[in-house]
Amino acid sequence: MTEKQLSDLILPEHIGIIMDGNGRWAKQRGLERSEGHKAGANVFRNICNYGADIGLKYMTFYAFSTENWKRPPKEVASLMKLFRDYLDEAEQRVKENEKRGLKFHLVGEKKGLPGDIVRKLDALERRSADKDVMTVNLAINYGGRDELVHAFKALARRVKAGDLNPDDISEKDISDNIFTSGQPDPDLIIRPSGEYRLSNFMIWQAAYSEFWYSDILWPDFTSDDLDKAIIDYCKRSRRFGGV
């Protein structure tokens, strides 16, 4: 996107992306599914960097859902290896990420993830905590319903302790206890690969999100496709239930 095009647009503040189609991309090419995930990881890096370069403030990437544990053990193991490789690479590219001002944040449950991955994620979050150009939410071991259960349990503990009256619980209380607490809800959610569903992604936050779907498989997704989604978003009228 050119500077002139950018100057004419009011960019979405927060974009969520469901990175779908890696397995089908690999199958079309006679490759192992793990090769599709590798190709998708490269696209994630490119789109993440491009988002920061054009001025997006938040991007959430759906990398591994709570339901993905049901996949074949070999595929799950390959995904965990990809996460390790990315986190190791992020450590090696600290200066580049700092220059871009990327702040990394885990969106999901640490419980259940391999201990070494949790430690690497913690280190990445700590190192980037003071960056303020763009927040990169890594949705790993994430599920929208699980996120709500997490929030409801936190509120229930406050009620039990006598710190909160159940009749006083508000939408803000729930928003303050989900994994994206303190962040704006996604303005735009992008799903490539020809699927038309949320798949348990940000179901609380997506109440008034705009959606953009495409038949493009994630490993083929480019910055031009992100531009198309943003331009389409900017043509829409968001009324939030009003007139």
- Beta strands 58-65 and 102-107, pairing class: unpaired
Please list, residue by residue across 38-58, b when 16 or more beta carbons sit within 10 angstroms of its beta carbon and e when fewer do.
Answer: bbbbebbeebbbbbbebebbb
SS3 211: strand
Q: 17 Cβ partners below 8 Å, 6+ apart? A: 47, 59, 60, 61, 62, 189, 190, 191
Helices 73-92 and 33-54: crossing angle, nearest 10°?
40
Active-site residue, 68 included: yes
Active-site residue, 20 included: yes
The catalytic position among 42, 46, 53, 68 is 68
SS3 200: coil
The catalytic position among 20, 22, 97, 187 is 20
| Residues taking part in catalysis | 20, 68
